[in-house]
C-alpha cells in the first residue's frame, strides 16, 4: 500500500506528538513525591509519646508557644505564660508520677523556622531535653517563605536536635490557620504544602506527630473560627484547650 507525501507527514506528526506526551508522562511519574499529597494529608499518625518520671520537656516555637511567658525566668515550671504550654504543664502535674517533670517554654514571638534554627543551640539544645516539642510555621507563611525553604529549615532543626541531643524524643506539631486569618485564601496553597512537608519530615525522623490542623477543622463543625483562633492563628482559651488536649491524646504515661 502506497502512502502519499501528505499522509506520511501527518502520520509522522501524530507519532511525534504521541512520543512527546509519553516522555512528559514519564517525567511526571519520576517527579512524583514519595508521599502523594492526598495520602500524606490524610495519613493517620498513631505513634504516641512515652512520658516517664523526671522528663525534661522543652517547648519551642513562635508566639503561639510563647504565650506571654516571662523570658526573665529560666527555671523549669515557672513563667510558662498563659498559653498551651502552661496548660500542658498543668495537665502533666495532675498526674502524680509526673510532678518531677521539668517543663521549659522557649517560644519567641514572631519567630520563623530560620530564627529558631539560629537560636536552637542556646535556647533548646543547651537544656538537654529528653523531649523536644516544636510548633512553628505561621510566620514563615506570613513572610512568604517558599515550601522548600520551610522544609530545609525545619529538617535542620530536627536533625540538629537528634545529633546534638542523643536519644531525644521529638514531637512535631502541625501548624494551623483558620479562615478568619487576613489573607487566608492567598496563603492556603502554600500552607497546604507546608503541611505536606512537615508530615513527611515527621515520618522521616520518626517523630511523634500531632495533627492540630485536623483538630481545629473538626472543632469548626460546632464552633465559629473566631471563637477558636482570635485572628486565624492565635488561640483563644477554647483554642488553647484544643491544642493541649490533642497533645495529651498523643501521650502515654509510664513510671
Q: What is the CATH number of the domain that holds 189?
A: 3.40.50.1110
> Same domain for 5 and 61?
no
| Boundaries of domain holding 15 | 1-31
> Same domain for 63 and 105?
yes
> Same domain for 20 and 86?
no
pLDDT for res 164: 98
> Same domain for 190 and 209?
yes
> Same domain for 150 and 25?
no
pLDDT for res 38: 53
49-99 per-position pLDDT tens digit: 999 989 999 999 999 999 999 999 999 999 999 999 999 999 998 886 677
pLDDT for res 95: 81
User: Full-prediction pTM beyond 0.75?
Assistant: yes
> Same domain for 4 and 69?
no
Task: Give a yes or no: residue 36 inside a domain.
Answer: no
> Same domain for 64 and 132?
yes
Mean pLDDT of 204-214: 96
> Same domain for 10 and 128?
no
Q: Is it the case that residue 1 has pLDDT exceeding 80? A: no
> Same domain for 81 and 184?
yes
Least-confidence region, from 32-36, 41-45, 150-154: 32-36
Task: Give a yes or no: residue 115 inside a domain.
Answer: yes
Torsion of CA 236, 219, 57, 133, to 10 degrees: -100
| Domain count across the chain | 2
- C-alpha distances out from residue 135 to 61, 170, 198, 244, Å: 5, 11, 10, 12
Amino acid at each position: 500500500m502506497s502512502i502519499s507525501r501528505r499522509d506520511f507527514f501527518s502520520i509522522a506528526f501524530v507519532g511525534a506528538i504521541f512520543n512527546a506526551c509519553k516522555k512528559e508522562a514519564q517525567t511526571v511519574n519520576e517527579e512524583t513525591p514519595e508521599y502523594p499529597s492526598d495520602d500524606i494529608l490524610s495519613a493517620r499518625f498513631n505513634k504516641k509519646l512515652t512520658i516517664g518520671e523526671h522528663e525534661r520537656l522543652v517547648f519551642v516555637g513562635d508566639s503561639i508557644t510563647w504565650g506571654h511567658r516571662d523570658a526573665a525566668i529560666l527555671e523549669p515550671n515557672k513563667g510558662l505564660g498563659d498559653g498551651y504550654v502552661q496548660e500542658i504543664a498543668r495537665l502533666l502535674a495532675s498526674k502524680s508520677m509526673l510532678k518531677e517533670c521539668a517543663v521549659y517554654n522557649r517560644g519567641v514571638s514572631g519567630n520563623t523556622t530560620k530564627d529558631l534554627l539560629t537560636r536552637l543551640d542556646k535556647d533548646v539544645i543547651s537544656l538537654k531535653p529528653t523531649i523536644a516539642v516544636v510548633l512553628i510555621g505561621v510566620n514563615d507563611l506570613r513572610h512568604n517563605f517558599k515550601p522548600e525553604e520551610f522544609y530545609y529549615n525545619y529538617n535542620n532543626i530536627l536533625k540538629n536536635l537528634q545529633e546534638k541531643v542523643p536519644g531525644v524524643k521529638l514531637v512535631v506539631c502541625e501548624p494551623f490557620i483558620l479562615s478568619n486569618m487576613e489573607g487566608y485564601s492567598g496563603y492556603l496553597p502554600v500552607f497546604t504544602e507546608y503541611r505536606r512537608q512537615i508530615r513527611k519530615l515527621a515520618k522521616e525522623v520518626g517523630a511523634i506527630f500531632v495533627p492540630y490542623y485536623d483538630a481545629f477543622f473538626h472543632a469548626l463543625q460546632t464552633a465559629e473560627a473566631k471563637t477558636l483562633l482570635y485572628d486565624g492563628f492565635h488561640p483563644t482559651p477554647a483554642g488553647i484547650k484544643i491544642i493541649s488536649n490533642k497533645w495529651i491524646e498523643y501521650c502515654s504515661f509510664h513510671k
